[in-house]
């Protein structure tokens, strides 16, 4: 192989910076396969310099650009404070410049910013690049539901897998042992250059899922054979660390869907905790929530989601456990009930610019279910929506649990 993969990460938040750290550690360790430097796109903003002697010596005490702070101190002082980042992780505020020449794009943004970001990337990336989406959320548009791995494929015309798992960023960044799942079912090495005329040269957008709402095939460019083939072995080298145990599976949609829907369940668990109702009630809510997650997958991703992903992989039940114990969605929902305010207010007040994914996912899923006329099949998802929109109170929970049990029976 004569060419090295250029890896970039798009997003530099709490998880974006953590994944950037992992990628940069691995590109350095496998510098025969990857260029050592990893560019990380930063949504530029002015940040306050924390009251820390070393940081103030390096940055001064006036607000500075986040990019400058990262590249000077090798720390994301706003979104991942206190964690040393490798010096080959290079912050870049210019999105087009970041993706230029990259063969592997890792998307790690709050989902609410994805559509706009993809529009800005379009046409500036290599046609044969491959992507991994670490984004947890679903995209609802014109009554259809899409995963971000699908949206990336559709908008950029490049193959995209997904990464998700029980991965609270601060714990991963501190190098506490955990697992993650990568869904990847990319084209084989002998894939031929598409000429636009032969079906053989086209690949299904999502091999497992074809519906009226999804273009079934796109012309996918092969990665030149001068590069190492992008497959599960290469992805394990790129993402796996001694503290970050990677399993690669073919169920791209199941991995992405688990990461998106568990945030609705985490909000429900947080509401229960905020009421002080204890672990038994929380477990009851989680049970119904998990069954609704599986039902959602079976109904709208019937050929693509492997039900076993929910039980076998970190992206399923393990992520539900972590997120309903210690995630931001869980804590924010808990604080909202305790303080008698909305979750949106808590997000603004307590998260320091970090973005909840559960609130917008709940609203998007509700909009989708309503259009499909399927609200009654998802009583817990609807309940979380009603709480967020202040259409009901936690007093309705006992009735919900009885109804939820009947619906899923
Ligand atoms: N934080 C975690 O523990 C964690 C773990 C696993 C997965 N995830 C997932 O990773 C994804 C990214 O989350 P995160 O934790 O890195 O982000 P975050 O919650 O820290 O969000 C803040 C990020 O959003 C960026 N941003 C703000 N306004 C923007 C705009 N207009 N356009 C583009 N970017 C903008 C900020 O610069 C910052 O990088 C989410 O889907 C999340 O669910 C998060
Ligand atoms: O902090 P949350 O609620 O966004 O969850 C973080 C991760 O998704 C947990 O795996």
Catalytic residue positions, numbered: 262
Distance, CA 297 to ligand 2 centroid (Å)?
20
Residue 151 located in a structural domain: yes
Classify strands 89-92 and 202-204 as parallel, antiparallel or unpaired.
unpaired
Residue 2 located in a structural domain: no
Instruction: Compute CA 218 distance to the chain's CA centroid, rounded to the nearest angstrom.
Output: 23
Q: Give the whole-angstrom CA distance, residue 183 versus residue 256.
A: 8
8 Å CB contact between 336 and 182 = no
Q: Which domain holds residue 391?
A: 254-408
Residue 307 located in a structural domain: yes
Distance, CA 52 to ligand 2 centroid (Å)?
28
Q: Which of 250, 284, 299 is the last residue of a domain?
A: 250
227 and 258 inside one domain: no
Q: Which pLDDT belongs to residue 195?
A: 54
Residue 210 located in a structural domain: yes
Q: Which pLDDT belongs to residue 216?
A: 53
Q: Give the whole-angstrom CA distance, residue 22 versus residue 2.
A: 24
Q: Helix or strand or coil: residue 159?
A: strand
Instruction: Compute CA 353 distance to the chain's CA centroid, rounded to the nearest angstrom.
Output: 17
316 and 388 inside one domain: yes
Residue 29 located in a structural domain: yes
232 and 327 inside one domain: no
Distance, CA 405 to ligand 2 centroid (Å)?
26
205 and 222 inside one domain: yes
Asked whether the ipTM of the predicted complex exceeds the cut of 0.95, the reply is yes
80 and 188 inside one domain: yes
127 and 80 inside one domain: yes
Residue 401 located in a structural domain: yes
Q: Which of 250, 266, 301 is the last residue of a domain?
A: 250
8 Å CB contact between 375 and 382 = yes
Q: Name residue 147's beta-bridge partners.
A: 138
Residue 300 located in a structural domain: yes
Q: What residues have CB less than 8 Å from 262, skipping those under 6 apart?
A: 136, 293, 319, 320, 323, 324
Q: Which of 250, 275, 308 is the last residue of a domain?
A: 250
Q: The pTM is what?
A: 0.95
224 and 300 inside one domain: no
235 and 272 inside one domain: no
Q: What is the CATH number of the domain that holds 236?
A: 3.40.50.720
11 and 127 inside one domain: yes
Q: Helix or strand or coil: residue 120?
A: helix
8 Å CB contact between 79 and 120 = no
81 and 178 inside one domain: yes
Cβ–ligand 2 contact at 168 (below 6 Å)? yes
385 and 243 inside one domain: no
Q: Which pLDDT belongs to residue 409?
A: 66
Q: Give the whole-angstrom CA distance, residue 133 versus residue 8.
A: 12
Q: What is the CATH number of the domain that holds 324?
A: 1.10.1040.10
Q: Which pLDDT belongs to residue 407?
A: 79
Q: Which pLDDT belongs to residue 217?
A: 63
Token reading at 21:
């750290």
Which residue positions in the chain have pLDDT lower than 50?
196-202, 205-208, 210-215
Which of 381, 351, 323 shows the shortest CA–CA distance to 136? 323
Q: Which pLDDT belongs to residue 210?
A: 47
* Burial class, 3, CB count within 10 angstroms (exposed 0-12 / middle 13-18 / buried 19+): middle
Which of 299, 207, 314, 205 shows the shortest CA–CA distance to 259? 314
**DSSP alpha helix (H) spans, 276-357:** 279-300, 308-312, 319-326, 328-339, 343-350
Cβ–ligand 1 contact at 111 (below 6 Å)? yes
Known binding residues for substrate: 136, 328-329
Q: Which pLDDT belongs to residue 207?
A: 46
81 and 230 inside one domain: yes
Residue 1 located in a structural domain: no
Give me the number of domains the chain comprises: 2
Q: Give the whole-angstrom CA distance, residue 251 versus residue 164.
A: 12
Q: Give the whole-angstrom CA distance, residue 157 versus residue 150.
A: 10
């Amino acid at each position: 192989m004569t060419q090295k993969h250029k890896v970039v990460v798009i997003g530099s938040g709490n998880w974006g910076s953590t994944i950037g750290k992992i990628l940069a550690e691995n590109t350095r360790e496998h510098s025969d396969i990857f260029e050592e430097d990893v560019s990380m796109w930063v949504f530029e903003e002015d940040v306050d310099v924390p009251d820390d002697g070393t940081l103030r010596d390096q940055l001064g005490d006036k607000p500075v650009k986040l990019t400058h702070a990262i590249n000077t101190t090798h720390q994301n002082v706003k979104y991942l404070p206190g964690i040393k980042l490798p010096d080959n992780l290079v912050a870049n505020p210019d999105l087009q410049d970041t993706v230029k020449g990259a063969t592997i794009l890792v998307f790690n943004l709050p989902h609410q910013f994805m559509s706009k970001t993809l529009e800005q990337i379009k046409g500036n990336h290599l046609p044969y690049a491959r992507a991994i989406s670490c984004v947890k959320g679903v995209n609802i548009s014109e009554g259809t539901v899409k995963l971000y791995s699908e949206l990336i494929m559709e908008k950029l015309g490049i193959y995209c897998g997904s990464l998700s798992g029980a991965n609270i960023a601060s714990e991963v960044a501190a190098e506490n042992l955990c697992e993650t799942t990568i869904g990847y079912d990319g084209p084989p090495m002998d894939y031929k250059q598409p000429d636009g005329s032969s079906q053989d040269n086209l690949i299904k957008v999502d091999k497992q899922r074809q519906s009226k709402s999804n273009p079934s095939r796109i012309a996918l460019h092969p990665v030149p054979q001068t590069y190492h083939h992008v497959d599960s072995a290469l992805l394990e080298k790129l993402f796996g660390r001694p503290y970050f145990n990677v399993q690669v599976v073919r169920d791209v949609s199941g991995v992405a869907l688990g990461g998106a829907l568990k945030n609705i369940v985490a909000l429900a668990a947080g509401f229960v905790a905020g009421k002080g109702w204890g672990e038994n009630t929380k477990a009851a809510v989680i049970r119904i929530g998990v069954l609704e997650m599986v039902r959602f997958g079976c109904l709208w991703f019937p050929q693509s989601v492997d039900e076993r992903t929910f039980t076998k992989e970190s992206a399923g039940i393990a992520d539900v456990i972590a997120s309903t114990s210690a995630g931001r969605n869980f804590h924010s929902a808990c604080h909202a009930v305790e303080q008698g305010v909305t979750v949106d207010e808590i997000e603004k007040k307590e998260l320091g610019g970090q973005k909840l994914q559960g609130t917008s996912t709940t609203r998007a899923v509700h909009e989708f279910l309503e259009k499909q006329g399927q609200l009654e099949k998802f009583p817990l998802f609807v309940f979380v929506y009603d709480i967020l929109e202040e259409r009901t109170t936690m007093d309705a929970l006992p009735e919900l649990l009885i109804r939820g049990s009947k619906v899923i029976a």
